[in-house]
Amino acid sequence: MRKPGEPVRVSGSGTCLPLLRILTAGYSDTTADFVYLPGLHSGGGIKGVANGDLEIGAVSRQLTAEEAKLGLRYTLLSRDGLVIATHPSVPIEGLTSQQVRDIYQGKYANWRELGGPDLPITILDRNEDESAKIILREYVLGKDLKITPKAVNLYYEPDMIEGLQSTVGAIGYFSLGYGISQEIPVNMLKLDGVAPSVAAIEDGTYKVIRPLGVVTAEDAGEQIDEFLAWATSAKAVELIKSRGFAPAK
Amino acid sequence: MRPFGRHLHNQIIVPLVVASVVVAIVAMAIAVALVGRIIQSWIDQSVEAVIANTHSRLEEASTDLLRSIKMAAEDSRLVEAAQSRDVQTLSGILVLLNQSIEADNLMLLDEDGAVIAATGRLQLMPGVLPLGGTDRDWVVLSMSHPILIRMGQSYTLTALEPVKGPDGRTYTLALSAIVDDEFVRRISEGSGAIVGVYDNAGHSVAVRTTNTPEGSVAAAALRRPDPAVTEAFAGIDEGTTVPLATADGTFRLKADRISFKDDPTGSMAYLVAALPTTVAEQTRRTTTNLIFMWSALAVLILLGLNWWVARRVSEPLVQLSDSVGRVAEGDFTAKVSFHGTNEITRLADNFNTMTDSLRERSESLTKKVLELATLYEMSRALGSTLDLETLLDSVLDSAMRIFNVELGYVTLRDRESGQLAVRSLRGSLAARPDEAAVRASMSEWVVREGRPLIFNPPRAGEEPNGRVDSVSGALAALCVPLVSNDGTIGAITVGSRDAQHRFTSDDVRLLATIANHVTIAIGNIELFSTLQDAYLATVRALAAAVDAKDPYTRGHSDRVARYAVSIGESMALAPEQRTALEMAAYLHDIGKIGISEEILLKPGKLSDEEMGQMRHHPLIGANILKPIAFPWPIAPVVRHHHEHFDGRGYPAGLKGEEIPLLARVLTVADAYEAMVSDRPYRRGRSEEDAILELRRCSGTHFDPRVVDAFIHVIAESAETASLTVTPHTDAPGPEEASAVFVAVCDGMFSSFRRLGGPRLAANLEQDINATFAEQGLPYALTAGHLVHDGDADVSDIEQLEQMRRAMAAIAEFIERTSGASLVSHFYVEAVEALPERMRRQADHLGLLH
């Protein structure tokens, strides 16, 4: 257990950590010292808090039934949109969910077939247990869609973003909040004609969203309770909205 | 004040100061130049080190690149994908591979050099030819080293590796690191230098700057690039370093080529490193300042040290010089003293020893000169007197002065009795030592043994011997015999009551010398006395011859001589004058030998002619005596013994003082004797008549002073005669007592005047008269004589009391001016000068207690 005065250890979902960084940076209480450990994915964050190795575990998906039994406190901070994007060399406006499914099924080899430039389609994908992939399957791909072997699985979201930026003709998906807040130079696509934005998430028109939250121990202590109270306050909501993250309803 | 440069002190300091300043300046100049060169070479070496370091880092980056591409090329997924020639798969694999390699760019080229798939910052489209056209046949080669090549807008360090494609084709995998500012930063990390990379045309590719303002300025200059950079390129082969001056500071630039071995493209680039000289400049300035400061300090310290050393050397010399100056002026007490033990101290010691020895020599010389002077004076005194007592007194005075003592006496053996007697005594309290004291004295022993004798008082700590000379009372005494040809005739003794006084053998030698002189002088006096006696006998014989011719006047010359001598004594004539007078008296009528016996023996009155002849006798006598070389002028006395005081005498008719004094005396004595003695033709007159006649003719026939003296003598002799007959047991009458008192006082006064001189005597007279008046004593002093002017009706006892008080007053005055010892001395002298009867009366009266 953490003793008062010791730093607040934070880790977990790579998708959620940028949001937490925005929040801790905006937090005015300077007595709390937040330390970010390397990303562990959502499950790792939950396990870390359960083991007492972390104070705050970042989670970018809903807790599983087993995880809910651990008796941890879950706080929803934001709803992040999952945006599908291409390398800027593919200046198409948007794709339908079907087109996305077809691309990941390997039905298209060249963007020319989709009305884009004559460039081979480089398919960037995530592992199945990644929250982003889970959400994408839930809202776009569908549960049983077989992904083409031409796609490459990238382990971390930053790898995905890096690959999207540096590979001509690439397509992939990542956090909208991160994309907006870091101004990633990629071509964000409309999905089924809906452009990904905080407003679209808030009004419910953009459906592909994942819940960004934290788990903490039930008796995490006053300092963490205060931080969570602030993180869910109106002021914090304004802050995360301005950075591309949609508030938690 | 001597000029500045003439002081030894300054002569030492100035050259040393000049030398140390020159040395300091030269040392500073060398040190500053050396520091400048060292610092410049230090910077140049640092720049070189930066270049070398950067080279090696670049090499490392190349190696890394090569390793990465080999790893990627062997990746099984890539090899598989290459065989399938599926662009989508290849592209995905490249993305995946680059995730792990993290290179700037990774791409796969086909046989024509066109891009099949690519990922990375170069953003290359498929189909482009990033390495150039198909002529680049080296593209497919496996290269041992990356190459520097421009791809699109970027300058890259690119490694190539062949990958097997489908249908036996060979693709090329290209892994690039973009040479940008970040890359340069990485390869020149930690050097503190500004590093620039230039392509083969000399255009700036990337520059790494430092986070300092001057770094940015230099980086800007490197990017431009500055002409200095071009200059540095030109100096690569010479390995020169060129300066770069900017508004914010100066830098040193060095350029080098970047080229790789076995590079088929022969690609080349340039590397330039710039180091700010600010720190070096500061170091140089600080070091220079420090050198200046230390040099100044060293010069100052040296100056102080020089000053101190110079003082150490010159001050003793100044002191020594002063002291030598003082010695040269005759001050032998000059001393120098320094602390320590060095040559100067030894010099000072030697100097002190020298002055001591000089002083001793000078003192002993002074003593010798004094001795010689005194001896000379003494020998003059010895020759100038024939009176023994005077001689001995003067010798003793001189001897006492030489030895610096206060006591001295001479004893002489009496020829007849053989007894020793003190003949002269100076400084002793006892006026006359008795015979026993003389017998017990050291001179008795010395005379007996004929050897000198010293006795010195015991030194401090020694057993007191209690020896005191019985005659003088001296504690230290030296006695030497007076040895003549006949043997030891006496001894001379000097002594001191000072218990510290010491006589030495030198003193014995000196006193022996004095004794020799004295012995000779005594011999002379004795010889003279013998001669005088012989003369006297001769003269008496001549006088007897005259007497024989005139039996009526037999004994006349003897009697005249007796009278004349007594007058001479009364008038206090000098001894030799008295002797001359006596001789003249014996011989005054010798001229009568030339007068015929008829006239001479004619009874009754002589005729004029006879008288005329008779009057020739003084001249005849003078002529007879003239050829005889008497030691005294006798002939004139004889010639003029018939002159009258008023000028009516014969033969020359001399008058008053023109007549020799002795002749005047002789005239009175002759006349008186003629008057009182019987002649065949008449009876002699009585003494009273004769005296009356003398008085009558005083001033006409006779000199009044002589007459007075003679009358005094006659009166005295009459008293003596009466005293002789009357027994001396009875007390003197009042008149007699008064006369004795007056005579004693007169004697004391005359002694006092002799010693103290007329001025002191006059003072004494005044003071005593005042005291007499004060005490109501009936006495007064006038011209050295005591006059009794009181009335006679005082009793004998009162008169005696008055006399004793008066004497006490006189004694007190003399004691006050001359000391107690002299009072008794004067008294004894005065009493001794009295005739026998009066002396006894004086003793009887007991005037002085």
For B159-209, the pLDDT digits (tens) are 888 888 888 888 889 999 999 888 988 888 877 888 999 988 888 888 888
Question: pLDDT tens digit string along A190-218?
Answer: 999 999 988 898 888 998 988 899 999 88
Q: Do B624 and B639 form a contact (C-beta atoms < 8 A)?
A: no
Pair (B524, B564) in one structural domain: no
CA–CA gap between residue B774 and residue B761 (Å, rounded): 20
ipTM of the complex: 0.84
Q: With b meaning 16 or more CB within 10 Å and e meaning fewer, what string describes B433-449?
A: beeebbeebbbbebbee
pLDDT at B458 over 90: no
Residue B156 and residue B25 share a domain: no
SS3 label, residue B480: strand
Tell me which residues of chain A, numbers 106 to 135, contact chain B at a CB-CB cutoff of 8 Å.
Answer: 109, 119-124
pLDDT classification of A186: cutoffs 50, 70, 90: very high
> Which own/partner pairs from B115-118 qualify as long-range (CB within 8 Å, at least 24 positions apart)?
B116/B87, B116/B90, B116/B171, B117/A120, B117/A122, B117/B87, B117/B90, B117/B91, B118/A167, B118/A168, B118/B91, B118/B94
| Last-in-domain residue among B297, B323, B349 | B323
CA distance B124 to chain A (A): 7
- Asked, for residue B485, whether it belongs to a domain, the answer is yes
Identify all chain A residues contacting B88, using CB atoms and an 8 Å cutoff.
109, 120-123, 150
Q: Looking at domain A81-202, does it have CATH number 3.40.190.10? A: yes
Answer whether residue B101 is part of any domain. Answer: yes
Q: In the Cβ-directed half-sphere of B603, how many Cα atoms lie within 13 Å? A: 5
Residue with the bigger pLDDT between B843 and B209: it is B209
Interface test with A, best of B91, B107, B125 (most A CBs within 10 A): B91
Report yes or no on B774 lying in a domain: yes
- A162 vs chain B: nearest CA distance in angstroms? 8
Place of tokens 């001249």: B619
When pLDDT is averaged across residues B113-131 and rounded to a whole number, the result is 86
Report pLDDT digits (tens) over B331-347. Answer: 888 788 877 778 888 88
How far apart are the C-alpha atoms of A155 and A170, rounded to whole Å? 16
Question: Which chain B residue shows the shortest CA-CA distance from A159?
Answer: B99
Q: Is residue B577 part of a domain?
A: yes
Neighbours of B505 (CB within 10 A): 9
* 3-class secondary structure, B76: helix
Domain ranges (residues) in chain A: 8-79+210-247, 81-202
pLDDT at B246: 81
Q: What is the pTM of this model?
A: 0.51
Q: Identify the three-state secondary structure at position B831.
A: helix
Neighbours of B8 (CB within 10 A): 14
For residue B724, what pLDDT band results from cuts at 50, 70 and 90? very low
Among the residues of B387-504, which ranges form H helices? 388-403, 435-440, 442-449
Tell me the average pLDDT across B218-237: 85
Question: Which residue of chain B has the CA closest to A152?
Answer: B92
Residues B586 and B701 placed together within one structural domain of the fold: yes
List the beta bridge partners of residue A123.
A171
Same domain for B767 and B685? no
pLDDT at B448: 86
Q: Looking at the structure, do residues B800 and B783 belong to the same domain, yes or no? A: yes
Choice between B755 and B302, residue whose per-residue pLDDT is larger: B302
Q: Quick one: B716 and B645 in the same domain? A: yes
Does residue B491 lie within any of the structural domains? Answer: yes
CB pairs under 8 A between A and B: 63
Model pLDDT, residue A190: 93
Which residues does A65 contact at the CB level (< 8 Å), separation at least 6? none
Tokens 């041992």 belong to B144
pLDDT tens string B78-105:
888 888 878 888 888 998 898 888 889 9
A120, A155, A168 member nearest B88 (Cβ)? A120
DSSP for B218-231, written as a single string: HHHHHHTT-HHHHH
The answer to whether the Cβ–Cβ distance between B99 and A166 falls below 8 Å is: no
Does pLDDT of B134 surpass 70?
A: no
For residue B379, the one-letter residue type is: S
Owner of token pair 């230290």: B476
Q: What is the CATH number of domain A8-79+210-247?
A: 3.40.190.10
Residues B585 and B686 placed together within one structural domain of the fold: yes
Q: What percent of chain B has pLDDT over 70?
A: 93
Tell whether A18 lies on the interface with B, counting CB pairs under 8 A.
no
Percent of chain B with pLDDT over 90: 3
Instruction: Tell me whether residue B41 is in a domain.
Output: no
End position of a domain, from candidates B670, B690, B725: B725
pLDDT in tens, B499-555: 888 888 888 888 888 888 888 888 888 888 888 788 778 877 887 777 777 766 777
The mean pLDDT value of chain B amounts to 82
Contact B92 A123 (CB under 8 A): yes
Of the two residues B525 and B141, the one the predictor is more confident about is B525
Whether residue B563 sits in one domain with residue B520: no
CA B86 to chain CA centroid, nearest Å: 126
pLDDT beyond 70 at B135: no
Query: Cβ B86–A159 below 8 Å, yes or no?
Result: no
> Which of A111, A159, A161, A167 should be substituted to probe chain B, the one whose Cβ sees the most B Cβ atoms within 10 Å?
A167
Residue B709 covered by a domain: yes
For residue A96, which of A204, A200, A203, A194 has the smallest C-alpha distance? A194
By residue range, what is the domain housing residue B751? 734-845
* CATH code for position B97: 3.30.450.20
> Is B252 domain-assigned?
no
Which of B92, B96, B119 faces A166 most closely, judged by CB atoms?
B119
* Mean predicted confidence (pLDDT) in B582-610: 83
Last residue of a domain, one of B666, B699, B725: B725
DSSP string, B172-221: EEEEEEE-SHHHHHHHTTTS-SEEEEE-TT--EEEEE--SSHHHHHHHHH
Query: A159 and B99: CB-CB below 8 Å?
Result: yes
**Alpha carbons B371 and B483: distance in angstroms, whole number:** 21
Round to whole Å and give the CA distance between B785 and B813: 16
**What is the predicted pLDDT for the residue at A90?**
92
Question: Worst-scoring range by mean pLDDT, B165-169, B592-596, B838-842?
Answer: B838-842
Contact A119 B89 (CB under 8 A): no
What's the structural domain count of chain B? 5
In a shared domain, residues B582 and B717? yes
Would you state the pLDDT for residue B583? 85
Mean pLDDT of chain A: 88
Query: Percentage of chain A surpassing pLDDT 90?
Result: 38
pLDDT at A87 over 70: yes
